[in-house]
Amino acid sequence: MKIQHIFFDLDNTLWDHRRNAYLTIRDLFEKEEITLKYSIGFEEFHSVYHEINEKLWEDLRDGIIDKDYLRKHRFYNTFRHFNVDDQELAMYFEEHFLDRILNHNELVEGAQYILDYLKAKNYTLHIISNGFKEVTERKCILSKIDHYFQTITSADTVGFRKPRPEIFSYSLSLSDATTDNSILIGDDWVADVVGSQNFGLDVIFFDVLHENPQQEGLKSIKHLLQIKEYL
């Protein structure tokens, strides 16, 4: 059956979360004069934060921790790494981070072009995100890409995160999409690729970090414009 529905992951597939988070944390870091107060360099702080945050998101995806644990610990654990044990400061960063990240709405290179291209070819576009519901839709609206999508699904709405089949099932059920006429595009190997394949959904892996997985017949791209090779 011909592909009609395209399901996109959002963060780091279309919306450049890595870049937007970097800029947001830098703003907070400078405003709170962290270097002056604690002699911590921003680049080192961000590097530690990034590593801690990625691991916490993997644990959240795998059901080891919940959303509240992630929110309480990503900045707290980062400051602790630099021997700053200050829960209040960590929560200040957390609360303002979620708010202020929406001031930065840079898209992944080629995102706007590829969305126009797919829309012009009459594909029906959707979002399936493991991100927090309170920010997922606002990211789409503020970056002016919301109008491309028929449906936007956040894991919080369903109560399950990718790679769990329930979130794919829920998202497909919002329209007349089936596994036969749909494909997913995402950058997370476990959540997007393994999740889609286990659900019986075709997938294009956006290998933005050059992981170069070896799997026979895998559709893989390094830049969003390469989607044109498949669709």
Of 57, 84, 103, the last residue of a domain is 103
Q: Report the share of the chain in percent with pLDDT over 70.
A: 100
End-to-end CA distance of the chain: 13
Residues 124 and 62 in one domain: no
Answer with the one of 51, 69, 103 that is the final residue of a domain: 103
Domain that holds residue 93: 17-103
Are 116 and 37 in the same domain? no
The pTM for the full model equals 0.94
Do 176 and 208 sit in the same domain of this protein? Answer: yes
**pLDDT tens-digit map of 38-91:** 999 999 999 999 999 999 999 999 999 999 999 999 999 999 999 999 999 999
Q: Note whether 23 and 11 are same-domain residues.
A: no
Residue 133 has pLDDT above 90, yes or no: no
Residues in contact with 51: Cβ distance below 8 Å, sequence separation at least 6, in sequence order:
none
Q: What residues have CB less than 8 Å from 193, skipping those under 6 apart?
A: 186, 203, 205, 213, 218
65 and 160 fall within a common domain? no
* Domain of residue 73, CATH code: 1.10.150.240
Q: What is the DSSP string of 41-81?
A: -HHHHHHHHHHHHHHHHHHHHTTSS-HHHHHHHHHHHHHHH
- Domain count for the chain, please give it: 2
Last residue of a domain, one of 103, 120, 147: 103
In whole angstroms, give the CA distance from residue 4 to residue 150: 12
